[in-house]
Amino acid sequence: MLDDVEAIRMVDKGNMGMMISSFPRLLKEAVTLSRGLALPRDYRNVKEIVVCGMGGSAIGGDLFKDLSQNNIPLSVSIIRDYDLPRHVDENSLVVAVSYSGNTEETLEAFKQAYEKGSHIVAIASNGLLEKACSKLRIPFLGVPSGYTPRSALPLLFIPLLKVAEEIGFPLVGEGELAEAQRLVEEYNNKLTPENPLSRNPAKQLAARLHGKLPIIYSMGHLKSVALRFKDQINENAKMRAMCDQLPEANHNEVEAWEKIDFKELLHVVFIDSRFKNPYLAESVNQLVSTIKREGVGLSMVKPLGETMLEEMLSAIIMGDWVSYYLAILRGVDPAPVRLITELKSKHDEKMRYSEKFEEWLFKSG
């Protein structure tokens, strides 16, 4: 099935394969777009960065937090909610990210940030977020529309690196970005449907995960990559998956391997890293030995690259294609998200938040 390109196209009616294969191109486009973002000089005085977003628009914030953790002296937090924490104030930089520009929770957080006097910058393709930034004269970066939020990840993640640079904390240089783009493009070409199962690691992993409950572990700067992997399996393959991070899992979840139910239905995926702490490396070895001893299927994913950014991006594109091939094996179109759309529609019909936001905007500024 996975080597029948025409059969894959018949299942993939929403063209998710095309969107995933666009990842390297969107990465280049995001770098170019980000160069046009300029923030006022007083933004350099902020004490923290708060990224607000939901779903596919939030995961870029998670990646940014993981990458910045040991590289900038500011606190970085990700808010997936309506309400901002109390500590957010006029000394905070709030980055509102919504691919559609109409995400209710993000709009409400944006409104609260404005009322608190926070420094704000927004990233969206259009929508009410763009409209609000235009009226309130808030820095805004517009990104191309036409993708699902989850497939637009490069457009929502790379600009956050530019935000950090604009306030005085460059995380990644131009050369490193260029090398990461080259590596991702080469790797992506090896994972597309045209490459047979025998030479395609994404197809191979999907085949091992088919009919199983994936349990994905990661560590360090790759913590959010495991979450991305899980979310992509949920949305694209319409199937359950779990994720956890090390070393935290060794202080609680490891006990679940003591007495395993339905072990034949489980498959563990470890996303490894060359940058892991040496103490953690020994813990990983011990956990892997425990899982193998119990006879549970296990796969190691070793991201490509010589930098943290390259590891992140190569592991993400691998996970995206695995989720795609799982969808094909299950015979489901990966693009539509019927339940998410249905839930949003029913909620919007009842709450009519966008109208309330527009009323607030009319009275503001």
- 78 within domain boundaries: yes
Q: What is the pLDDT along the chain (365 residues), one digit of tens a residue?
A: 899 999 999 999 999 999 999 999 999 999 999 999 999 999 999 999 999 999 999 999 999 999 999 889 999 999 999 999 999 999 999 999 999 999 999 999 999 999 999 999 999 999 999 999 999 999 999 999 999 999 999 999 999 999 999 999 999 999 999 999 999 999 999 999 999 999 999 999 999 999 999 999 999 999 999 999 999 999 999 999 999 999 999 899 989 988 888 899 999 999 999 999 989 988 888 899 999 999 999 999 999 999 999 999 999 999 999 999 999 999 999 999 999 989 988 888 888 999 999 999 999 97
CA 277/CA 272 separation, integer angstroms: 11
Tokens of 314: 């190569």
- 187 within domain boundaries: no
What's at 330, amino acid-wise?
Answer: R
Residues 293 and 310 in one domain: yes
Number of structural domains the chain divides into: 2
Residues 73 and 144 in one domain: yes
**C-alpha to C-alpha distances, 280 to 167, 251, 274, 305, nearest whole angstrom:** 33, 13, 11, 20
- 189 within domain boundaries: no
- The pTM score is 0.95
Residues 132 and 201 in one domain: no
Residues 218 and 260 in one domain: yes
Q: Transcribe 270-334 into DSSP letters.
A: EE--TT--HHHHHHHHHHHHHHHHTT-EEEEE---SSSHHHHHHHHHHHHHHHHHHHHHHHT--S
Grouping H, G, I as helix, E, B as strand and the rest as coil, residue 145 is coil
Residues 352 and 311 in one domain: no
Its domain, for residue 307, covers: 195-330
